[in-house]
């Protein structure tokens, strides 16, 4: 990422005690700010980060500069974790935090940054209701940021119904009129965090964390599915986790994803092999059935042939028996006639002798 000087504005009013974010708004904000600080400092070693608390216990009860833009990570983290809750719920018809005044203090701190070559950016956390401030004050503050070449990223936590329209006016004014053109890049972003969702889970896939410019309409308003939303392709091989931020978690996720991919490939290969075996088994069964049918047909044909042969043989035997009986009868008749003739001859001879 390019060199950048960033000011983080924290909301530490009494409204941050609410437990609609786990565990409270203040601690969820601190966790998200800690992640942004690590990302900014590790992406470029010359980048600097400062911290401002938008409520203070002093006479002014306004914004308090805790740390000027610096690259000392220990000093930054110490300021983040030491932000106390202070201020009043409502101060004489004013909101618990003054967004316009806090943005002006952050712009002044960036103006006196050490390295003038880098870009300027403000990351604003808002968790208090903005009921008293008028929309025109946000538009004026946004135009002033645009004039000073300062980008702003706004993270809205709670009170979204009242705060989101005004905060969007601030972001749109900071982007300028050219950002309203179709396909134009927007260097300022608004991210709304629904209740019950960890801000860090939403921010990790947002343009604020990735540091890229979103196209028109790229603000992640109402990012209820931010943890699995668009932008995770940047670190898809590591499960959406930046390996520079948490190398152990990123490597564990990568190994787990590779193992799951290998398991799915094995399951797919086993299923394909099983289907192929079933198809080959069906072919063998069909061939065996065909062979059995042919064998049965052969046996049936053989039995039919055997029956025909037996019938022919029986018919031949019957005819032979008939012929034999007729021959016997003829022989007997002939023998009888011969005997009769012999007896007649004998009788004749005897008569002649007696005569």
Kindly report, residue by residue over 118-173, the tens digit of the pLDDT. Answer: 899 999 999 999 888 889 999 999 999 999 999 999 999 988 888 999 999 999 99
Q: Could you report the per-residue pLDDT of 48-95, keeping only the tens digit for each?
A: 999 999 987 766 668 889 999 999 999 999 999 888 888 666 556 678
The fraction of the chain above a pLDDT of 90, given in percent, is 30
Give the count of alpha carbons within 13 A of 79, CB side only.
22
pLDDT at 295: 61
Q: What single string gives the DSSP state of each residue in 142-190?
A: HHHHHHTTEEEEEEEES-HHHHHHHHHHHHHHHH-GGGGSTT-EESSEE
pLDDT confidence bin for 325, thresholds 50/70/90: low
Per-range mean pLDDT, top range of 181-190, 219-228, 257-266: 257-266
Whole-prediction pTM value?
Answer: 0.60
Q: What confidence category does residue 177 fall into, taking pLDDT thresholds of 50, 70 and 90?
A: confident
Q: Which residue is associated with the tokens 């709304």?
A: 192
Residue 311: predicted pLDDT: 78
pLDDT value of position 121: 95
pLDDT at 355: 46
Evaluate the CA torsion angle 31, 14, 10, 164 in order and state its sign: positive
Res. 22 pLDDT band, cuts 50 70 90: confident
**What's the Cα-to-Cα distance from 122 to each of 35, 142, 267, rounded to whole Å?**
15, 11, 50
- What is the predicted pLDDT for the residue at 336? 57
What's the pLDDT at 243?
A: 63
Residue 228: the pLDDT is 38
Tell me how far apart the alpha carbons of residues 319 and 340 are, in angstroms, rounded to a whole number.
32
Alpha carbon distance, N-terminus to C-terminus of the chain? 170
Q: How far apart are CA 78 and CA 225, in angstroms?
A: 31
Give pLDDT, residue 329. Answer: 58
- Tell whether the model's pLDDT for residue 287 goes beyond 60: yes
C-alpha dihedral (128, 131, 132, 134), degrees to nearest 10: 110
What average pLDDT does the structure give for the chain? 78
Give pLDDT, residue 141. 94
pLDDT tens per residue across span 5-20:
999 999 998 889 888 8
In 3D space, the residue among 56, 71, 46 whose CA is nearest the CA of residue 13 turns out to be 56
- Position 70 scores a pLDDT of 93
Per-residue model confidence as pLDDT tens digits over 195-236: 888 898 899 888 888 765 544 444 454 444 444 333 344 566
């Amino acid at each position: 990422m390019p060199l950048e000087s960033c000011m983080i504005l924290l909301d530490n009013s009494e409204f941050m005690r609410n437990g609609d974010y786990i565990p409270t708004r203040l601690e969820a904000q601190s966790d998200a700010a800690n992640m942004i600080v690590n990302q900014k400092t590790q992406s470029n070693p010359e980048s600097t980060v400062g911290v401002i608390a938008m409520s203070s216990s002093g006479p002014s009860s306004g914004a308090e500069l805790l740390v000027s833009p610096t690259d000392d990570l220990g000093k930054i983290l110490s300021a983040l974790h030491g932000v106390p809750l202070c201020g009043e719920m409502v101060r004489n018809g004013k909101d618990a935090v003054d967004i316009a005044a806090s943005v002006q203090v952050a712009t002044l701190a960036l103006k006196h940054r050490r390295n003038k070559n880098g870009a300027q950016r403000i990351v604003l956390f808002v968790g208090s209701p903005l009921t008293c401030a008028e929309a025109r004050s946000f538009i004026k503050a946004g135009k002033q940021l645009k004039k000073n070449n300062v980008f702003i990223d706004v993270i809205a936590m709670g009170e979204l119904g009242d705060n989101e329209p005004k905060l969007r006016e601030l972001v749109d004014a900071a982007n300028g009129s050219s950002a309203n053109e179709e396909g134009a890049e927007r260097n300022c972003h608004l991210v709304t965090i629904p209740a019950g969702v960890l801000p860090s889970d939403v921010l990790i896939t947002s343009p604020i964390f990735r540091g890229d410019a979103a196209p028109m309409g790229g603000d992640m308003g109402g990012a209820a599915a931010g943890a699995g939303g668009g932008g995770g392709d940047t670190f898809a091989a590591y499960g959406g986790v930046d390996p520079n931020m948490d190398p152990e978690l990123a490597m564990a996720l990568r190994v787990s994803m590779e193992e799951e991919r290998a398991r799915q490939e094995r399951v797919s290969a086993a299923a394909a092999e099983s289907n192929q075996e079933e198809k080959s088994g069906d072919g063998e069964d069909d061939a065996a059935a065909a062979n059995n049918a042919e064998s049965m047909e052969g046996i049936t044909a053989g039995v039919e042939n055997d029956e025909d042969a037996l019938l022919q043989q029986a018919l031949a035997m019957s005819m032979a028996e008939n012929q034999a009986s007729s021959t016997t009868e003829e022989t007997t008749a002939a023998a009888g006639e011969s005997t009769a003739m012999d007896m007649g001859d004998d009788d004749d001879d005897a008569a002649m002798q007696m005569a």
